[in-house]
């Protein structure tokens, strides 16, 4: 709480000092030249005193914020997938998508409670995976809803899409099972291998 209030406390203190210095010294150019450095010095000094966190604590706080942003990204993509799933005509495919979304949410919550220091890597990996599913689902729907395509034209690409969605749901369910039974080593090994195959994913 103090860390969040520190910038505001420093600003209020610095404004007060600036006003007092400016008015006391005569409200002229010399007063302004003296008051401005005092403003900066007081702001920095008060901020430093109020925000007494160590470098490690600051780094941890920043990492937590980044982690929550990744978790929120996953939630946004899941919302898109759930909405798009309502247009899927194949009941089994629609159910696979919805089940996958449900398990992704459950996986993140389980990792948060069991292995919170691994939450960033988990969320980051799931952002990439769910974004891929969303993109594939949009393509699936474009084919499904294209009136120019015959059932024969649709069969193969829709079948490939259905398999991708089912495989995703099964993969997430397997990850959820690993964390649930406490096999964190295998779970992390899968995440590291996935991160190593994607240069955009950081490795722990």
Q: Is 150 among the domain residues?
A: yes
pLDDT band at 194 (very low <50, low <70, confident <90, very high): low
Task: Read off the pLDDT of residues 38-47 as tens digits, 9 standing for 90 and up.
Answer: 444 444 444 4
Q: Domain span at residue 128?
A: 56-196
Please report which confidence band the pLDDT of residue 183 belongs to, taking 50, 70 and 90 as the band edges: confident
Residue 117 confidence (pLDDT): 87
- Helices 184-196, 119-144: crossing angle, 10 deg rounding: 60
CA distance 125 to 104: 11
- What pLDDT is stored for residue 5 in this prediction? 42
pLDDT in tens, 148-158: 999 999 999 99
CA dist., res. 142 & res. 158, Å (int): 10
- Residue 59's contacts (CB-CB under 8 Å, 6 or more residues apart) are none
164 and 98 in a single domain? The answer is yes
Angle CA 121–129–167, to nearest 5: 120
- Domains held by the chain: number: 2
The C-alpha atoms of residue 146 and residue 148 are separated, in whole angstroms, by 5
Residues 62, 6 share a domain:
no
Higher pLDDT: 30 or 119? It is 119
Q: What percent of the chain has pLDDT over 90?
A: 48
Same domain assignment for residues 100 and 117: yes
What is the pTM (predicted TM-score) of this model? 0.67
Q: Which of 138, 197, 133, 188 is nearest to 166 (CA)?
A: 133
- In the chain, the percentage of residues whose pLDDT exceeds 70 is 63
Cα 60 to Cα 35, 63, 192: the distances in Å are: 36, 5, 21
pLDDT of the residue at 83: 97
Instruction: State pLDDT tens for residues 61-114.
Output: 555 788 899 999 999 999 999 999 999 999 999 999 999 999 999 999 999 998
Q: Which residues contact 37 (CB under 8 A, 6 or more apart)?
A: none
Same domain, 44 and 63: no
Q: Tell me: do 46 and 95 sit in the same domain.
A: no
Q: Helices marked H in 25-144 — which ranges?
A: 29-50, 55-85, 91-114, 119-144
């Amino acid at each position: 709480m103090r860390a969040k209030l520190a910038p505001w406390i420093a600003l209020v203190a610095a404004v007060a000092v600036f006003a007092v210095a400016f008015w006391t010294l005569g409200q002229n150019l010399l007063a302004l030249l003296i008051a401005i450095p005092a403003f900066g010095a007081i702001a920095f000094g008060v901020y430093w005193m109020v925000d007494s966190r160590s470098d490690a604590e600051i780094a941890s706080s920043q990492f937590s914020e980044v982690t929550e942003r990744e978790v929120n990204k996953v939630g946004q993509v899941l919302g898109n997938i759930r909405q798009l799933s309502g247009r899927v005509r194949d009941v089994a495919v629609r159910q696979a998508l919805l089940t996958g979304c449900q398990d992704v949410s459950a996986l993140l919550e389980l990792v948060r409670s069991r292995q919170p220091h691994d939450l960033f890597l988990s969320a980051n990996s799931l952002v990439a995976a769910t974004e891929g599913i969303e993109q594939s689902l949009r393509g699936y729907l474009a084919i499904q809803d294209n009136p120019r395509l015959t059932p024969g034209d649709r069969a193969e690409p829709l079948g490939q899409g259905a398999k991708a969605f089912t495989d995703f749901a099964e993969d997430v369910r397997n990850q959820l099972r690993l964390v649930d039974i406490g096999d964190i080593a295998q779970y992390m090994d899968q995440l590291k291998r996935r991160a190593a195959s994607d240069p955009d994913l950081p490795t722990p």
